[in-house]
């Protein structure tokens, strides 16, 4: 048994995506929340500025925490009725204020950095499409494919590279602090805590700078991957063009109907003409002169071959004079559009034709 198979389905399925994404596809993808951005560089910059702010505000944070600790261990225990609700509320508010003063600036800087970096990459975008359930994300088969795809390999290489860089920078930096680490045994507890805090923050800043560099390369990769995934087949571009511009067959039909409508309107004007100048069979131009409406004769209709024959038929039916002038008919047809007045260089030739027509009708030419 032979089954009928549409081979075009295989051709379309195997067609390569070689065309850049159209503006329409980009707009639709953006509405769905499909935009390219590097989370690596966003995270690295947030951490970098957070640790820098810790380094800058560190002395003030230490001072405020030390003062609050002194109150907790010295002042509050001597407070009368310590466990009364109003006293406990006051202690809680004091602790909250200290927390906001110390941690608040760091959190605020980190949050602003994240917002600025995200806006720089994506711009303002609010969509609920990404919150809709997508069962393909939890499909084990799709997850397995992603794991062994080029994207999965790149993510693995980035993780290995980051781990290697963190280990190398940590080893190199701490190796230069060996003598300082050995002298910790002779320091008091406050000096030890201060040394560990400063060293940790300096090391974290160095690691974050390296991660920012990795993030810059990741940004370029994310852009390349996004553009590759957004590419379209030639058939998709054609289909989209049809949707935007309309089906070419429908557009052709509409243009044909518009031409027919324009033709009917033009033919309705022929009975109003004073004269039809012909070539004699190939061209026909219907003219009317009304001094009150235009300073020169106006072309009401023109046509070639079949249209010219139709103009002459209507002219005969409505007793409009038909004058043969080969050169003048061809010149008017080529240089004057329907509804326009004839140019000055044709005034003399047309005036002679109109004078002849008026004489035939027993009228005196105006002007």
Indicate whether 14 pLDDT > 70.
Answer: no
The more confident residue out of 136 and 334 is: 334
Shared domain check, 77 and 151? yes
- Both 39 and 148 in a single domain? yes
| Helix spans in 246-343 (H) | 248-269, 306-317, 326-335
How does pLDDT run across 145-185, given as a tens digit for each residue? 666 677 778 888 888 988 999 999 998 888 887 777 777 77
Residues 40 and 179 in one domain: yes
Has residue 366 been placed in a domain?
no
Residues 229 and 288 in one domain: no
Residue 285 within any structural domain of the chain: yes
Dihedral (Cα; 203, 205, 207, 213), 10-degree rounding = -160
Q: What is the pLDDT of residues 301-329, one digit of tens each?
A: 988 888 889 889 988 888 888 888 888 88
Question: Residues 102, 176: one domain?
Answer: yes
Residue 331 belongs to a domain with what CATH number?
A: 3.40.1690.10
**Domain span at residue 282?**
251-360
CA-to-CA distance for 346 and 343, rounded, in angstroms? 6
Q: Report pLDDT for 267.
A: 87
Q: Residue 208 contacts by C-beta under 8 Å, 6 or more apart in sequence?
A: 44, 47, 48, 51
The residue whose two tokens read 């605020």 is 108
Average pLDDT over residues 64-93: 79
Claim to verify: residue 55 and residue 179 sit in the same structural domain: yes
Both 288 and 234 in one domain: the answer is no
**pLDDT of 204 higher than 70:** yes
Higher pLDDT pick, 367 / 252: 252
276 three-state secondary structure: strand
> For the chain, what is the domain count?
2
Domain shared by 103 and 204, yes or no = yes
pLDDT band at 363 (very low <50, low <70, confident <90, very high): low
Look at the block and give the residue holding tokens 């009401």. 300
Model pLDDT, residue 147: 60
Same domain (yes/no): 213, 336:
no
- The whole model's pTM is what? 0.55
Q: Are residues 79 and 217 in the same domain?
A: yes
- Phi–psi pair at 255, nearest 5 degrees: -65, -40
Q: In which band, very low, low, confident or very high, does the pLDDT at 128 lie, cut at 50, 70 and 90?
A: low
Cα angle for residues 325, 327, 332 (degrees, 5° grid): 95
* In a domain? residue 15: no
Q: Which strands sit side by side in the sheet containing 321-324, from one edge to the other?
A: 298-304, 283-288, 275-278, 321-324
What is the per-residue pLDDT for 11?
Answer: 42
Residue 198 lies in a domain: yes
Is residue 330 in a domain? yes
Q: What share of the chain is helix, strand, coil (3-state, %, to 5)?
A: 70, 5, 20
Which position has the higher pLDDT, 258 or 214? 214
Mean pLDDT score across all residues of the chain = 80
Query: Are 284 and 324 in a shared domain?
Result: yes
Max Cα distance, the chain (Å): 131
The last residue of one of the domains, among 241, 262, 284, is: 241
Note whether residue 365 is domain-resident.
Answer: no
> Kindly report the CA angle at 270 between 268 and 274, in degrees rounded to 5?
145
Find all residues with CB under 8 Å of 242, minimum gap 6, and list them: 248
* Domain end marker among 241, 271, 300: 241
Do 63 and 118 belong together in one domain?
Answer: yes
Q: Would 174 be classed as within a structural domain?
A: yes
């Amino acid at each position: 048994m032979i089954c009928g198979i549409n081979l075009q389905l295989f051709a379309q399925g195997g067609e390569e995506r070689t065309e850049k994404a159209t503006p329409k596809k980009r707009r639709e993808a953006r509405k769905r929340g499909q935009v390219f951005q590097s989370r690596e560089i966003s995270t690295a910059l947030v951490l970098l500025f957070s640790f820098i702010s810790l380094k800058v505000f560190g002395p003030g944070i230490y001072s405020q925490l030390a003062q609050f600790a002194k109150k907790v261990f010295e002042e509050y225990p001597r407070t009368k009725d310590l466990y009364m609700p109003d006293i406990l509320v006051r202690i809680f508010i004091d602790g909250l204020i200290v927390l906001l003063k110390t941690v608040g600036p760091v959190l605020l800087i980190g949050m602003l950095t994240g917002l600025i970096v995200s806006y720089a990459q994506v711009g303002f975008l609010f969509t609920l499409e990404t919150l809709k359930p997508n069962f393909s994300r939890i499909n084990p088969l799709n997850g397995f494919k992603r794991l062994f795809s080029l994207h999965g390999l790149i993510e693995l290489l980035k993780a290995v590279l980051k781990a290697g860089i963190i280990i190398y920078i940590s080893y190199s930096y701490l190796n230069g602090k060996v003598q300082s680490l050995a002298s910790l045994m002779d320091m008091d507890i406050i000096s030890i805590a201060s040394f560990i805090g400063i060293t940790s923050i300096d090391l974290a800043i160095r690691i974050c700078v390296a991660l920012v560099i990795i993030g810059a390369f990741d940004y370029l990769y994310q852009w390349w991957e996004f553009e590759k995934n957004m590419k379209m087949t030639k058939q998709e571009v054609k289909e989209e063009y049809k949707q935007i511009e309309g089906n070419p067959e429908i557009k052709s039909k509409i243009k044909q109907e518009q031409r027919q409508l324009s033709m009917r309107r033009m033919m309705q004007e022929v009975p109003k003409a004073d004269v039809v100048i012909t070539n004699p069979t190939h061209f026909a131009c219907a003219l009317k002169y009304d001094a009150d409406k235009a300073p020169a004769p106006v072309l009401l209709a023109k046509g070639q071959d079949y249209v010219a024959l139709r103009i002459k038929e209507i002219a005969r039916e409505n007793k409009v004079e038909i004058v043969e002038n080969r050169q003048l008919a061809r010149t008017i047809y080529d240089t004057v559009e329907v509804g326009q007045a004839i140019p000055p260089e044709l005034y003399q030739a047309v005036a002679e034709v109109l004078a002849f027509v008026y004489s035939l009708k027993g009228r005196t030419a105006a002007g």
